[in-house]
Structure 1
Amino acid sequence: MKINISKAIKQFFPNPSLDLVYFEAIANALDANASEINLIITIQSFEEAKSLKVEIADNGHGFTNRGFDKFCELLETDSPDNKGLGRLVFLNYFKKAFYDTLSDDSKRTFTLDNKFDRDFEKKTSLNSNGTKLLLENYKLESIKTYDYIRAETLAKSIELHFLPRLYIINKNGNEVNISIDVRTEIPNPDKNFHSDKKIISSKKLPKLKSKIFKIEQTDLYADFELLYKVEQDFENSNLTIALNADNRTIPISDIISKENIPQGYNCIFLIQSDYFKGKVGNSRQRLELEKNQFNALKYSVIEEIKIILEQEIPSIVERNKNQKAFLDKKYPHLEGYFNENIAGLVDKNKLLEKAQESFFKDQKETLEATYLTDTLYKKSLEVSSRVLTEYILYRNLIIQKLKSTNHNNSESEIHEMIVPIRETFRSKEYFTNLYRNNAWLLDDKFMSYNTILSDQELSKLIDELALEEEISQDKTTRPDISIIFNGNPAEQRVDLVIVELKKRKAGLHENEKVIGQIQRRARRLLQYFPNRIQRMWFYGIVDIDEDFELYLDSNDYTEIYSVGKAFYKTQSIVYKVKDKKIECPIGITVLSFDAFLDDAEKRNETFLSILKESIKVNSNNDLNN
């Protein structure tokens, strides 16, 4: 074999497993038309991996001269079902593979190793046609799992792997028996590992039903057959989905998760088609299809399996409906994008990912359109509603996160959730910061800002007002949140909102500080009123307990309408301009955290209800059309 075998192993079998050794040896025996195949696994104990020996004997036609010539050249085969590579997997786990074979035209013994180059001896220990393969000198330090050397587990995996092929053999009136004989000196009862023997017979296969289906995609033109079994089995609850390609069974693990099948059922689904011929990878572990072809196959298979499961397990119907309803409620901006034919079976994250992909595709289509047809115009309106709904859902998460805060959360933590501390937000970067700046919590009209300063020195706020003066005196005082508005850029005057916060359950003394802070900010800023600042609003957000409410009542604050506690007062502020004292009224609103968040939540709920109903109506109209 004139090839670097060690490199070939890594190239063609990048993800090998020990059971591939058994699969390959048994497949070779079946290719030789064997009717009796004996697999003998010998090991001292699971821990003594180096003692592992594997023997596979069959009564097939043996190595003919032509067969041996092909064996000596990788990739040489007589059938598209064969790859001419399988024997390499033996050398991935064992240093040597000893062959003893007898056929009608030859007899030979030889050793396959990394230095193999067609050498053999013309002798055999066999009395009739067949092949005996002995694998020794296990190369690895350990065996990954007991499943690779436990007779019961191997019998199940080998039967499944060759199930379609054994069915064909049985259908043709032939019979094959495969025995798995495990021999160990030191058993492990805790792992159900002991000397044991199991037999697989083509005459005793599980009964599978059959269903033919097609896939609506131009390049997937062939018929597909789904062989399946769904039976109640509380001891062997399991789900198997696999493809039958090139006489091998290739498990597919990412179609339906086992958790989505009710407990107490053993389900087998095998998909076969002439379309799969020659499309199996060299290691026979995966099907080689284009991504769009595989996705078309995958979702068609899921839909067919869902129909079968709903017939065989009626209770699954209601559960799948509930899953679809949950997704629509949790992600209303994606309602109509969730494939109801597969909801409840596919992993929720994958279903969500698929819906988001479809949504993004529609967004891209409308954004890149140079001309809006009536259909595209309607779609653009719907896409806009969904984008807005996605944003409203984000806002709801922020509200719930703030509602979950308590006295253990610091003022800075709460501040950070509303507007990140020590940052400046400008209107020209509005969309960049849309999911970071949550000034809408106070009122949605505050999202029409020019600039927002978060926990910045008052000197920076004055600097933002474009005033030329000495401002060093303001470098030690920082309003929590300052919002500047300028509805008419032609005018030099602006509107200003100042917000002061305190942590939850801060107590009367700390809450009183909010009023003092607002008064000091107002006194400083009134110096620029009305020439540079035309209007100002001041907000304090605190936990209003009984003591602080009495304080507000004692200072002539009036309770105003709100979902929670809210108070307002017109406060006279005295400030100096060129040694002249001036008195000016300002409005101060004090909100409880409950009022602050509940008001925002009510506004959010109103938006969300309108958008949800709009999306639902559009989705239903699309279905009816």
Structure 2
Amino acid sequence: MHVDIAGRVENLSLPITQPYIPVFECIVNSLESIDESARKGGRIDVYFHRDDRQGRLIDSGDDYLGAVRDVTIVDNGGGFSDINAKAFFVSDSTRKAAKGNKGVGRFTWLKVFEKATIESVYNQGDERYRRSFEFRKSEEGVENETLDLCKAGEVKTTVKLLNIRSEYQKHFPKSLDTLAQKIIDHLVIYFLSPGCPEVWIHDDEHEPVNLNEYFRAEADTRATEHKFAVGKHELNAVIVRFDSSLNRRHTVSYCANKREVISWGVGTRVPDFKTRFVDEAGKSFVFKTYVFGQYLDSRVDSSRTQLVLSGEDELELDDELSRPQLDTAVTDVVKNAAAPYMTTLREEKRRNIETLVANKAPQYRFMLSERYGQYIDRISPNVSDDQLDIELYKVQKDIELAHREQARQIDSLPLDGQRNSEAYKHLREQFLREENELGQAALARYVVHRRTILELLDKALETQDDGRYVKEEAVHSIIFPMRASSDDVDFDRQNLWVIDERLAYHWYLGSDLPMSRLKAVNSDENDEPDIVVFNSAKVFAEAKRSFNSAVIVEFKRPERNEYPSTDEDPVEQVIRYARKLRDSKAKTDEGRTIEVAESTPFYAYIVCTLTPRIRDIALNRDFMVTPDGAGYFRFHTQLNCYIEILSYDKMLDDAKKRNRAFFEKLQIPML
């Protein structure tokens, strides 16, 4: 049967992200050739030739290295003798099937490069020969073959992979260090084996690198072997420690027939592996794990880029391994090997969480219980405080979801003897304990929110660099966003409790909106009170509804002393607002009109600096001084309206005093 080489290459699947596969195939061929020849002093040289057409800056570092265009591999193995040449010329040859060879590796050469040239000087019988030919993506594949006697030539084989295809070139590593690591990762078992031939890599820019020495210096003495089983299948994991900063990730490589096939980062499954470990001497490193076994040898595809394993949702047979099964088993092996270093990381992570809880986020204190250790394990170590806060928030949401699911399970139990069982009692006790913890966490989060708001207010009331005070809008926006209503603003952004705790809950609120736009009021007026709050009473009849109270808040710029007209007099302003609101008609949620009862009390707060002008206004209007001397109050009988003038400092100090007990209970720093 004739094989069309061009068609064979075209149908070969090789991802463009793995352009170095042909180089690996050549190196393995060289290693096997040296092994078969039983030659001592075996050596392989790999030359990476850069694309001169792209140019580069002189002494500009590896970032500006030219892209690799050609690769030359030279070895002193047995060479292309008649038997080896015959196997090469036959597609899908089985000559090396016992070693796991698929007989298709050379086709990857033509998948990535335009052509290859081979020249081999070898001994056969008592004679020495030179064989040369080209390997192209053509119907025949092998072209221009020559075979001659060679009296003086050195025994060696040279394979040149020429003119890398552009789609693969952009994914081919440029740095010699990166190439060294790629080759070692792919062939680590060869480098761990005694008597491994010397492998050197070269380029046009740097000194040659001896990969055997590179590997010995980096990891050879730090390799440990771990045998384990998954189902009926025996596997072997070789875990190697790498100190070089080039190795940034802890990885697992699945290998077949001594070669890496696929790899994945352990940090994707175990967050503690997202950072380098540190030993007793303070030296950082990563673990690279290489997994081997006959089962994996039998599951590699022809291009050596994939393992044919069943997926998570596929039917699992007794003799088959799924990828999730394999990943889980290997993860356990790696975690056990890294346990001493993970313990150190987790202790440091716990200290970081404890510090954050003590200083900034007491709402997460309950997570420090051992009961939630599995959740904390999901958090990456060595993250910033801000990122740690985010991760803990995610963990809390996961705990809350699990808690709700537990509640659903409890409610679904039948009303029979099961609800009297010890298991049910234990489940319910655990649920109630978690319910209490989550409730405390929610309260703690809200108290921390309050502390933050008070800190912002404290800062806003300080003088600016130019000696001026902020405008009232700055304070106003902290307490409640301007030009908005309670329908527009989340509860967490409504901080009316700073003025009065009773204002934290209300039926409707409008901020800096003309009265004509207040949803709760029928009015054509365009006066804009800073804040208007309506508190709803209980509904005693289907069609009747009234307000418990209405509240008006007016802010004035800190240190403002000039109020030249009656319209700007803050007391006159709130009285005018109260009168207009009382004369207007209110609406229910459904838009039905109701009257504001004469008995509905109004409360008005004027927040300002107690300047001489404000004090004059208060005294002229018969206001009383508050017991602490930090404000004024008066009751307007006709409007049934209590009016209070209070300073910004009093507003802030009173809010701090009301919340001080909460701060102390949560053990968070006082303001």
Question: What residue identity is the alignment partner of 2:395?
Answer: A
Question: What residue identity is the alignment partner of 1:38?
Answer: D
The answer as to 2:634 corresponding to 1:570 is: yes
What does residue 477 of structure 1 align with?
527
Which stretch shifts more, 444-453 or 117-126?
117-126
Deviations 1:206-240 (A, max 9, x none): 3115375989xx98997774634487x9xx69655
Identify the match of residue 499 of structure 1 among 545, 548, 553.
Answer: 553
- Distance in 1, matches of 2:446 and 2:458, equals 19
Map 1:225-304 to 2 at 5 A. Answer: 225=237, 227-229=239-241, 239-246=248-255, 247-248=259-260, 250=263, 252=265, 254=267, 256-258=273-275, 265-274=283-292, 277=296, 284=305, 304=336
Map 1:64-79 to 2 at 5 A. Answer: 65-66=86-87, 69-70=90-91
Q: CA offset at residue 201 of structure 1?
A: 2.0
- Distance in 1, matches of 2:633 and 2:601, equals 16
- Distance in 2, matches of 1:364 and 1:603, equals 33
Question: Does the residue aligned with 2:286 lie in a helix, a strand or coil?
Answer: strand
Identify the match of residue 423 of structure 1 among 475, 484, 487.
Answer: 484
Map 1:339-418 to 2 at 5 A. Answer: 345=381, 347=383, 349=387, 352=392, 355-356=395-396, 358-366=398-406, 368-369=408-409, 370-371=411-412, 373-374=427-428, 375-405=430-460, 411-412=472-473, 414-418=475-479
- Distance in 2, matches of 1:277 and 1:357, equals 40
**How many residues are paired up?**
558
Question: Does the residue aligned with 1:196 lie in a helix, a strand or coil?
Answer: coil
Question: Does the residue aligned with 2:216 lie in a helix, a strand or coil?
Answer: coil
Identify the match of residue 514 of structure 2 among 454, 457, 468.
Answer: 457
What does residue 40 of structure 1 align with?
47
Cα 1:269/1:485, change in 2 over 3 Å = same
Question: What residue identity is the alignment partner of 2:224?
Answer: S
Question: Does the residue aligned with 2:211 lie in a helix, a strand or coil?
Answer: strand
Question: What residue identity is the alignment partner of 2:239?
Answer: L
Query: Do the aligned partners of 2:92 and 2:102 also contact (CA within 8 Å) in 1?
Result: no
Map 1:158-169 to 2 at 5 A. Answer: 158-167=183-192, 169=193
Q: CA offset at residue 486 of structure 1?
A: 1.4
Q: CA offset at residue 477 of structure 1?
A: 0.9
Deviations 1:82-114 (A, max 9, x none): 79679648745x44343456899997733344x
Query: Do the aligned partners of 1:60 and 1:130 also contact (CA within 8 Å) in 2?
Result: yes
Question: What residue identity is the alignment partner of 1:419?
Answer: F
Identify the match of residue 602 of structure 2 among 536, 542, 559.
Answer: 536
Question: Does the residue aligned with 2:438 lie in a helix, a strand or coil?
Answer: helix
The answer as to 2:559 corresponding to 1:523 is: no
What does residue 135 of structure 1 align with?
161
Q: CA offset at residue 450 of structure 1?
A: 1.4
Unaligned runs of 5+ in 2: 36-41, 57-65, 313-322, 414-426, 585-594
Larger CA Rg, structure 1 vs 2: 2
Q: CA offset at residue 317 of structure 1?
A: 7.8
Question: Does the residue aligned with 2:381 lie in a helix, a strand or coil?
Answer: coil
Cα 1:31/1:437, change in 2 over 3 Å = farther
Q: CA offset at residue 178 of structure 1?
A: 0.7
The answer as to 2:118 corresponding to 1:110 is: no
- Distance in 2, matches of 1:527 and 1:32, equals 103
- Distance in 1, matches of 2:645 and 2:513, equals 21
Deviations 1:259-301 (A, max 9, x none): 7859962413122445893788978599998697698579757
- Distance in 2, matches of 1:155 and 1:39, equals 10
What does residue 617 of structure 1 align with?
none
Query: Do the aligned partners of 1:37 and 1:56 also contact (CA within 8 Å) in 2?
Result: yes
Query: Do the aligned partners of 2:276 and 2:285 also contact (CA within 8 Å) in 1?
Result: no
Q: CA offset at residue 587 of structure 1?
A: 2.1
What does residue 341 of structure 2 align with?
309
The answer as to 2:561 corresponding to 1:508 is: yes
- Distance in 1, matches of 2:616 and 2:380, equals 56
- Distance in 2, matches of 1:39 and 1:177, equals 11
- Distance in 1, matches of 2:17 and 2:563, equals 64
Unaligned runs of 5+ in 1: 184-193, 574-582, 614-625
Query: Do the aligned partners of 2:51 and 2:68 also contact (CA within 8 Å) in 1?
Result: yes
CA RMSD of aligned residues (A): 5.2
Query: Do the aligned partners of 1:572 and 1:584 also contact (CA within 8 Å) in 2?
Result: yes
Question: Does the residue aligned with 2:250 lie in a helix, a strand or coil?
Answer: strand
Question: What residue identity is the alignment partner of 2:55?
Answer: E
Question: What residue identity is the alignment partner of 1:210?
Answer: T
Question: What residue identity is the alignment partner of 1:158?
Answer: I
Question: Does the residue aligned with 1:201 lie in a helix, a strand or coil?
Answer: helix
Question: Does the residue aligned with 2:48 lie in a helix, a strand or coil?
Answer: strand
Query: Do the aligned partners of 1:177 and 1:199 also contact (CA within 8 Å) in 2?
Result: yes
- Distance in 2, matches of 1:510 and 1:277, equals 86
Deviations 1:10-43 (A, max 9, x none): xx42545x66665454355446666532111234
Identify the match of residue 175 of structure 1 among 196, 204, 207.
Answer: 196
What does residue 445 of structure 1 align with?
502
Question: What residue identity is the alignment partner of 1:509?
Answer: E
Question: Does the residue aligned with 1:509 lie in a helix, a strand or coil?
Answer: coil
Question: What residue identity is the alignment partner of 2:216?
Answer: K
What does residue 71 of structure 2 align with?
54
Deviations 1:546-576 (A, max 9, x none): 6577557756453456xxx952401437xxx
The answer as to 2:606 corresponding to 1:587 is: no
Q: CA offset at residue 595 of structure 1?
A: 4.7
Q: CA offset at residue 54 of structure 1?
A: 1.7
Query: Do the aligned partners of 2:238 and 2:291 also contact (CA within 8 Å) in 1?
Result: no
- Distance in 2, matches of 1:23 and 1:213, equals 27
Cα 1:84/1:366, change in 2 over 3 Å = farther
- Distance in 2, matches of 1:219 and 1:500, equals 74
Which stretch shifts more, 489-498 or 196-205?
196-205
Question: Does the residue aligned with 1:588 lie in a helix, a strand or coil?
Answer: strand
- Distance in 2, matches of 1:129 and 1:108, equals 13
- Distance in 1, matches of 2:444 and 2:383, equals 24
What does residue 326 of structure 1 align with?
355
Q: CA offset at residue 196 of structure 1?
A: 1.3
What does residue 491 of structure 2 align with?
434
